[in-house]
Amino acid sequence: MQLTGLPIESVLGVAGFVAVFITALYLLRLRKRRVQVPYSALWSRVLTEKKRQTDWWRRFKRLLSWLFYMIIAGLIAFAALGPRSADEVVEGRHLLIMLDTSASMGATDVTGGVNRFELARQEALALLENVGGDDRVMVALFNNRVQPLGPFVRETQPLEAALRAASISANATDFPQALSFARDSLRERGQAELIFLSDGAGLQDSALDTLAIGDKVRVRHIVYGERSDNLAITGFNARRYPSNRLDHEVFVEITSTFERPIQARLELLTEGRIIETLPMELAPQEVHRQFYPGQAFAGEELEARVRVTTADADDAFPLDDRAYAVLPPARTLEVQVVSTGNLFLEGPLLLNTHINVTRVHPDRYDPERAFDVTFFDNVAPEMPVSGDLVFFNPPAGASPFEIRGVDDEPILTDISKSHPLMRWINLQDLNIARTSTFRRESGDTAVASAFGQAVIVERTTETRRMLAVGFDLRESDFPLRVAFPIFILNIVDYFAQDDVDLMYAFETGRTVSLPVPRDASQARVTSPDGRTTDAALHQGQAMFYTDQPGFYTVTAGDEAPIAVAANLASPAESRIAPAELELTDAQVARTTEGLIFERRDIWIWLVLLAMGLLFLEWLTYNRRWTE
């Protein structure tokens, strides 16, 4: 038995005073009113005998009435002490409810709810409705970041409203971060309990060995989910072919977590229209990676969908069945050729329909005109205000690359094969009559060298890229080789960044940064659900958070909108098999048994009993059973 009410010393003092007061009232004799009546000695003997018979009964009735009031006073005094059972928790607890809102909680392999998240939210609301009056509760949502809904509070109605408004995110789960938050929040708090509402998907890959919650914290992990069957797109991207900017190469990674072989169908869509349907068979637990070349499609938005076609197989997690990407529109590059005439150089450029070539005689060259790339053939005039530069056989006096010397009939011995300019070509057997060699500066890259002497050098500055080729094309057999037009195309693609002209696709749950004009005062972001928000602007970058898969549109001022895509693309999150939390320093319970607060208020029954006795005393007094 525990006493949690008024101090026992105070109650005993008041109870003693009440007992003395009640006893004094019963000891005091009422002064009887004198009434004159006729008298006859005839009745004297009868009355004397009657008085002897009734005196003891009258004293007993008065004693019984006194006893009733003493019991009533004792019951009220005992109720004021606040008696409770010995096993009842009477000290206020600190309850931290952590609700998993990661993508895997959207799996539909549950009974009694739409998905795992709905069941977990119902559990959290039931806990809030049954906490004790002295309990303090904090609720936090977590995925790859933790979002507390407030501090520890006694009033749970605001928490209930926030929980009902919560929704699943398309983010992965960071369990170490969530548990670290729980540890820090419950540190040095009495009666601390952590209630972890999560499917545990991905716990197997989380490093929790060094994470200590504390042996004074009671931990409960309520696991949701029943199956692990899932078919997911865990990788999706595409790029244009440099030689044909209307053709694309698509890469898709599909992960199956089924324990048996299944059949599936992959669909590629652009602007909402299906352009390709590709059947496939997947082995148990297979990760299927495939390139699909020669995909010709128009439009900027590309979508991939995968679905299970095996009749008796059910995909329990639909969120990762789609993936999105955006291909920037193919723009025409403005290229300037400053030369007295060189068809070898102009030919590969003129054959490309996405390059607009402007031929300029050195005498009519204007450095104020803007071009994406400028080729200088045997000249090195004043550098233009913008654009990347390519120098073929620059003269020694004006070359921006310092010429170290001249080498006759050089042999190219060192080729940087990993450099994008050397993609698909080989220069080691190239015949050159004469070439200049360059002295490299800090940061320069020797693309091709003759016994350590740089012949082709690439330089990158803060504002542009430059390339120098030390020989005249007409003094080599380079233009006669198949590698030459590819080399020119590689130059344009490298300078125009076509090698990274991949679809703008990002992982959900990340902050995306896109370049915008530095003078832009506002950038609006439209999410896949149509919601529009302001992006944060910093040093010419618009930054926003992606929390759902689909297409985002960023509009900065009067600039054309920029479309980007976000995908779940998390193999760990797509493996939706439920897992149980295990900690090295604490036992983890799996149920909420004993967690729901049940206050057994004994004092109420004591007061009701006192009122019953009071009613009984009133009844006996009116029936003349007591005095």
What six digits make up the tokens of 550? Answer: 């689909």
- Whether 572 is in a domain gets the answer no
- Whether 413 is in a domain gets the answer yes
Q: What is the mean pLDDT of residues 325-329?
A: 75
Return the SS3 of 127: helix
- Candidate from 129-133, 168-172, 404-408, 438-442 with smallest mean pLDDT: 129-133
Q: What is the mean pLDDT of residues 528-556?
A: 91
Same domain, 190 and 60: no
What six digits make up the tokens of 269? Answer: 């869509």
21 falls in which pLDDT band (50, 70, 90)? confident
Q: What is the mean pLDDT of residues 127-141?
A: 88
502 falls in which pLDDT band (50, 70, 90)? very low
* Predicted pLDDT at 299: 63
Return the SS3 of 564: strand
Same domain, 391 and 372: yes
Q: Could you tell me where the DSSP H helices lie in 215-269?
A: none
Between residues 31 and 267, which one has the greater pLDDT? 267
Same domain, 490 and 509: no
- Whether 328 is in a domain gets the answer no
* Residue 346 in this model has a pLDDT that exceeds 50: yes
Are the beta carbons of 99 and 163 closer than 8 angstroms?
Answer: yes
Question: Could you report the per-residue pLDDT of 35-91, keeping only the tens digit for each?
Answer: 676 665 555 555 555 555 556 656 666 677 778 778 888 888 877 877 766 655 546
Question: Could you report the per-residue pLDDT of 89-124, keeping only the tens digit for each?
Answer: 546 789 999 999 999 999 999 887 689 999 999 999
Q: Which residues pair with 502 in a beta bridge?
A: 239
CA-based max dimension of the chain: 168
Same domain, 365 and 393: yes
Question: Could you report the per-residue pLDDT of 444-478, keeping only the tens digit for each?
Answer: 999 999 999 999 999 998 889 999 999 999 999 99
Same domain, 301 and 344: no
Cα atoms in the Cβ-side hemisphere of radius 13 Å centred on 507: 12
CATH number of domain containing 146: 3.40.50.410
Other beta carbons less than 10 A from residue 499's beta carbon: 13
| Range picked from 240-249, 292-301, 482-491 for highest mean pLDDT | 482-491
- Whether 599 is in a domain gets the answer no
Confidence (pTM): 0.63
- Kindly tell me the number of DSSP H helices and DSSP E strands found in the chain: 9, 33
Of 272, 287, 322, which residue is a domain's last?
Answer: 322
Tell me what percent of the residues of the chain surpass a pLDDT of 70: 85
* Predicted pLDDT at 179: 92
Return the SS3 of 130: coil
Q: What is the mean pLDDT of residues 170-199?
A: 91
| Host domain of residue 192 | 94-227+578-589
Same domain, 269 and 344: no
- Whether 299 is in a domain gets the answer yes
Are the beta carbons of 315 and 301 closer than 8 angstroms?
Answer: no
Same domain, 190 and 282: no
* Predicted pLDDT at 188: 86
- Candidate from 69-83, 414-428, 593-607 with smallest mean pLDDT: 593-607
* Predicted pLDDT at 500: 44
* Predicted pLDDT at 133: 73
Same domain, 339 and 424: yes
* Residue 436 in this model has a pLDDT that exceeds 70: yes
What is residue 316's DSSP assignment? S
Same domain, 106 and 153: yes
Residues contacting residue 306 through CB under 8 Å, at least 6 positions apart: 231, 232, 233, 254, 264, 265, 266, 267, 321, 322
Note the residue count of the chain: 627
CATH number of domain containing 352: 3.40.50.880
- Whether 362 is in a domain gets the answer yes
* Residue 356 in this model has a pLDDT that exceeds 80: yes
Same domain, 81 and 105: no
When divided into structural domains, the chain yields a total of 5
- Whether 14 is in a domain gets the answer yes
Same domain, 342 and 262: no
* Residue 354 in this model has a pLDDT that exceeds 70: yes
R_g of the chain computed on alpha carbons: 44
Of 496, 518, 542, which residue is a domain's last?
Answer: 496
Same domain, 483 and 387: yes
Between residues 438 and 572, which one has the greater pLDDT? 438
DSSP 360-387: E-GGG--TTS--SEEEEES---SPPSSS
Of 293, 322, 351, which residue is a domain's last?
Answer: 322
The per-residue pLDDT of the chain, averaged, comes to 85
CATH number of domain containing 553: 2.60.40
Distance CA 554, CA 562 (A): 5
